[in-house]
Amino acid sequence: MDGRCRCSRLAIDDRSKRRLLPLRHRQLDFGNSHMSRTKSPMLLAPLSRLAGVRRDWLPALDRLGLRTAADVLFNFPRRYEEIHEIVPLGLLTANQSVSVVATVKEVDQSIAETGRHTFYMLLEQDRHYLRAVWFNQPFLVERFRVGQTLFLRGTVTERGGRLQMVQPRWMVVDAQQGPPSAGLLPVYGLSEGIKQRDMRRLARRVVEQCAGQVEEALPDTFRASLQLCGIQQALEWIHFPSSHEEQQAAQRRLVFQELFVLQLALARRRWEVRQHPSAPPLELTPKIRERILCRLPFDLTESQQHAFQEIAADMARPIPMNRLLHGDVGSGKTAVALCAMLLAVAHGHQVVMMAPTEILVRQHERTIRAMLGGSRVRLCAWTGSMSHRQQIGERIAAGEYDVVIGTQAIAQSDLKFAKLGLIVIDEQHKFGVRQRAKLKGLSAGTPHYLVMTATPIPRTISMTVFGDLDVSTLTMPAKLRAPVHTYLADASQRDKWWEFVVKKLREGRQAYVIAPLVDADEESQWDSAEQMYESLVHGPLEAFRVDLLHGRQSAEEKDAALRAFAAGQTQVIVATSVVEVGIDVPNATVMTIESAERFGLSQLHQLRGRVARSQHPGFVCAFSSSNNPRDNERLKAFAEIQNGFELAEVDMRLRGPGNLFSTEQTGFPPLRIADLTRDAETLEFTRLQAMQLIEADPTLELPEHARLRRLIQHRYGDALQLSDVG
């Protein structure tokens, strides 16, 4: 188990049509009409009705998302304290790491002239004594009183002929429950107003009363073949294991079920898509292929050709293509996407290409328009800030434009296409599953989908967030490029770096300067793009033409700044991360990243990709003032690793998949106990198991699959646009 609180409601009765919600705002509500069929109404009862729950706990429990017995049952421990066999005080010796139970005999405290607070306690058991000492914890004075029975765990030392424990872990022994037995003690996430011992007491009460009421979701023969424990046993052991073996067995069962249900949902989504052959078949004939390739000002790499062949094979079928195209920086995704777009246009169909920002929309428009110069392909841009949208929309609906490039404003509008054959989505993870689903209303038919991302995706992510898509990977650069040299620096090296930047500017190159914020930050002027701009134009770069670019500028201001930079009229552009994706200025070969610790590792790699677009070598210097070891580890990896796929794996290991592709972006409910790094092998296995099951029983109609069918619908029905399967 990792340090985060992952909670799961994997097998609670799920006859409701309401999807399970993330812990922070979920409420288990199956509706009154289903209550009579629920095996145990006790699971759904408010905690205020549960015996032993104090009313003053309820606000804290509510903040933790714990409102019913079921919420508590599936609120898994964050970690465990290992409890050794309790040793009598009379058998203690120095240098032992032990657990003891004793009665508080005396308490005292002292405050030194330096202000250091020391709290002392004398414990007694059968006329044997132990001294306990804590430093700088004055609140303990209010926690302890003479006569209490305490459980302590720590290392015994000897001082002045007396045995003592310094800074031991402790808990007050509950008079009813007695001291903890040897094993693992659960540690739960807390909120102000409830203590750890109260959470344990509540969890134990709920487990004892409710674990047996949770119905089994996995068929018995299937579960037995995989040697997985039952759901009741898993719930008891995940909360109060008596050994590491029990905790691991429970975790294995719950992780398997969570990933298996996810993979079943994805496999069913893929099956459903293939049952509706309503997309236009767009065959790549030799003549069309020759016309497309003649339009490109360069030859496709072997990797690009292979990806285009996979895409063309999909588009030739009446089944809607759902394909993800991803690759490292500079691998040439846009060129492959353009080939697919021209294939659709060659058959008389329209294409819409969606990008996450207006900056990227304008760049795609310029790039594609240049490639299509002299052709009869009619192209336009469509964004939320443009004027004359109504007139352009009418022309799109009339079929007067072949290719439309726009932002997500397209999905949020009432724009209609005359004959839409292909939708291309750039930076898929910035749109999400639900936004993609909204595009279904753009046309009467069902178009093909090609989604792209410039962020190399770890394999475990591609099997989850993008698991309903076929995947094409570009594995080589689009053309031979010079290397990018990456350096880490601190404030003491800043003057020397600016001297180097000035040298490169005088050689005719251009430069990016990246800041994490738009406005000033109290901690450092270098965190703010606006203040950095002022400092540079009146400092080391005063002899050069410098411009400013950030997300709060109008579309016209941003477009003008990029045009001037691309044309060489501006030598340096100070920007926020709005230049992270897709900006292509080959002459810009130098980049300065301030407060680099504020950026994610994959984001830093995308930024570095802006100076990896020509035959000239690139230079990136990342400044950081962080003393956080994890920040330093990330930045060291950024400097040493050039391969985006390797960096993506490091980024996921350090930050977790939720930060790479958040549930808010993807539309997916969060994983609550599974970990995509730790449980990669289990994910691979559950994917194979799910594919086999869906192949044998595509709609999960067999009686033994009924609970799995409902569980899939409730957890992933909305996110994957699954049909209601009962």
**Confidence (pTM):** 0.70
Most confident residue range from 150-159, 248-257, 469-478: 248-257
**Which of 421, 469, 465 is CA-nearest to residue 445?**
421
Given a contact cutoff of 8 angstroms between Cβ atoms, the answer to whether 584 and 557 are in contact is: no
Radius of gyration for the chain, computed over Cα atoms and rounded to the nearest angstrom:
31
- Sorted by where each starts, the structural domains of the chain and their CATH numbers stand as 85-181 (2.40.50.140), 286-474 (3.40.50.300), 484-641 (3.40.50.300)
CA distance 69 to 49: 10
Structural tokens at position 353: 């290409």
Structural tokens at position 59: 């606000």
- Of 487 and 466, the one with more pLDDT: 487
**Which of 209, 274, 249 is CA-nearest to residue 70?**
209
Mean pLDDT of the chain: 83
Most confident residue range from 69-83, 447-461, 494-508, 548-562: 494-508
pLDDT at residue 618 in the model:
93
* Coil, strand or helix at 133: strand
- Of 312 and 532, the one with more pLDDT: 312
- Of 545 and 142, the one with more pLDDT: 545
pLDDT at residue 412 in the model:
76
As a whole number, mean pLDDT of residues 528-534 equals 87
**Which of 589, 581, 606, 620 is CA-nearest to residue 482?**
589
pLDDT at residue 526 in the model:
55
pLDDT at residue 722 in the model:
65
Query: What is the H or E stretch that residue 140 is in?
Result: helix 140-143
Q: Categorize the per-residue pLDDT at 424 as very low, low, confident or very high, splitting at 50, 70 and 90.
A: very high
* Coil, strand or helix at 575: strand
Structural tokens at position 414: 């009432």
pLDDT at residue 480 in the model:
54
What are the tens digits of pLDDT across the range 34-53? 222 344 678 888 898 888 88
- Of 662 and 397, the one with more pLDDT: 397
User: Which range is least confidently modeled, 1-15, 252-266, 390-404, 462-476?
Assistant: 1-15
pLDDT at residue 668 in the model:
61
Given a contact cutoff of 8 angstroms between Cβ atoms, the answer to whether 487 and 493 are in contact is: no
- DSSP letter (8 states) at residue 416: -
Does 20 have pLDDT greater than 70?
A: no
Q: Categorize the per-residue pLDDT at 462 as very low, low, confident or very high, splitting at 50, 70 and 90.
A: confident
Q: Categorize the per-residue pLDDT at 3 as very low, low, confident or very high, splitting at 50, 70 and 90.
A: very low
What are the tens digits of pLDDT across the range 677-715? 889 899 999 999 999 999 999 999 999 999 999 888 878
Does 643 have pLDDT greater than 50?
A: yes
Q: Please report, for residues 489, 567, 648, the alpha-carbon distance to residue 635 in angstroms, rounded to integers and kept in the order given.
A: 10, 32, 13
Whole-number percent of the chain with pLDDT over 70? 87
CA distance 176 to 658: 41
Contacts of 150 (CB under 8 A, 6+ apart): 101, 102, 103, 104, 123, 144, 170, 171, 172, 173
Q: Please report, for residues 98, 387, 666, the alpha-carbon distance to residue 101 in angstroms, rounded to integers and kept in the order given.
A: 10, 76, 50
- Of 342 and 576, the one with more pLDDT: 342
What are the tens digits of pLDDT across the range 98-121? 889 999 999 998 888 788 889 999
Query: What is the H or E stretch that residue 132 is in?
Result: strand 128-135
Q: Please report, for residues 453, 589, 599, the alpha-carbon distance to residue 485 in angstroms, rounded to integers and kept in the order given.
A: 24, 10, 19
Does 575 have pLDDT greater than 80?
A: yes
CA distance 682 to 260: 9
Does 664 have pLDDT greater than 50?
A: no
Q: Which residues of 492-528 are buried (b: 16+ CB within 10 A; e: fewer)?
A: eebeebbeebbebbeeebbbbbbbbbbeeeeebebbb
CA distance 116 to 110: 8
User: Which range is least confidently modeled, 50-59, 391-400, 652-661?
Assistant: 652-661
Given CA atoms 562, 563, 568, 569 in this order, what sign does their dihedral have? negative
Structural tokens at position 311: 């895409």
Write the secondary structure of 9-68 as one string of H (helix), E (strand) and C (coil). CCCCCCCCCCCCCCHHHCCCCCCHHHHCCCCCHHHHCEHHHCCCCCHHHHHHHHHCCCCE
Helix, strand, coil share of the chain (percent; to 5): 40, 20, 40
Q: Please report, for residues 92, 102, 144, 557, 649, the alpha-carbon distance to residue 127 in angstroms, rounded to integers and kept in the order given.
A: 13, 10, 20, 82, 58
As a whole number, mean pLDDT of residues 520-526 equals 51
Does 603 have pLDDT greater than 60?
A: yes
Q: Please report, for residues 495, 556, 596, the alpha-carbon distance to residue 548 in angstroms, rounded to integers and kept in the order given.
A: 21, 13, 19
Where would I find the H helices in 538-669?
A: 555-566, 601-608, 629-640, 644-655, 657-660, 663-666
pLDDT at residue 593 in the model:
95
As a whole number, mean pLDDT of residues 195-209 equals 89
pLDDT at residue 723 in the model:
57
What are the tens digits of pLDDT across the range 213-250? 888 999 999 999 999 999 999 999 999 998 899 999 99
User: Which range is least confidently modeled, 186-195, 216-225, 366-375?
Assistant: 366-375
Q: Categorize the per-residue pLDDT at 474 as very low, low, confident or very high, splitting at 50, 70 and 90.
A: confident
Q: Categorize the per-residue pLDDT at 143 as very low, low, confident or very high, splitting at 50, 70 and 90.
A: confident
pLDDT at residue 662 in the model:
44
pLDDT at residue 142 in the model:
83
pLDDT at residue 441 in the model:
67
CA distance 563 to 305: 31
pLDDT at residue 409 in the model:
79
pLDDT at residue 33 in the model:
28
As a whole number, mean pLDDT of residues 85-105 equals 88
